[in-house]
Amino acid sequence: MQFTSQKISNVTLIRIQGRIDHNTSKDFENALKPHLDECISGMNKKIIVDLNGVDFMTSAGLRALMIAAKTCDKQKAEIAVAALQPIIQEIFTISRFDLVLKIFPTVKSAFENLSVDAVGDYGNNLSS
């Protein structure tokens, strides 16, 4: 599993690539943790997790997202996932995670919903 993160305006975008399973779930949690810590400290209140590059996720990955959602909720922060592959979308639907997290079909639509200010900056980052 690989990840990158970038701050775009008032939103942190975290991109995940690869499998999220029992072997990589701790890495996934560690990738999310500094950004959740920013939510706790009040530095950042909006996170988008781009799962376009994830083709497999076990309950361990869902657990990490549940913890992230609860942490954000306590801090009046927002977390959303975007660009789920069809199999991951199905897992979210079956496990009812679509009721726990905001899910968007694209990263751009997540930006449009979470931060109008960041939409233009996100578009500018696509071309660079």
By the 8 A CB rule, do 101 and 65 touch? yes
Q: Which amino acid type is present at position 89?
A: Q
Report pTM: 0.90
122 inside domain: no
What is the number of domains present in the chain? Answer: 1
45 inside domain: yes
125 inside domain: no
pLDDT at 112: 92
123 inside domain: no
pLDDT at 120: 65
Give the range of the structural domain holding residue 45, as residue numbers without chain letter. 2-116
pLDDT at 128: 37
CATH of the domain at 34: 3.30.750.24
pLDDT < 70: residue spans in the chain: 42-44, 120-128
pLDDT at 117: 74
Exposure string for 85-122, b = 16+ CB within 10 A, e = fewer: eeebbebbeeeebeebbebbeebeebbeebbeebbeeb
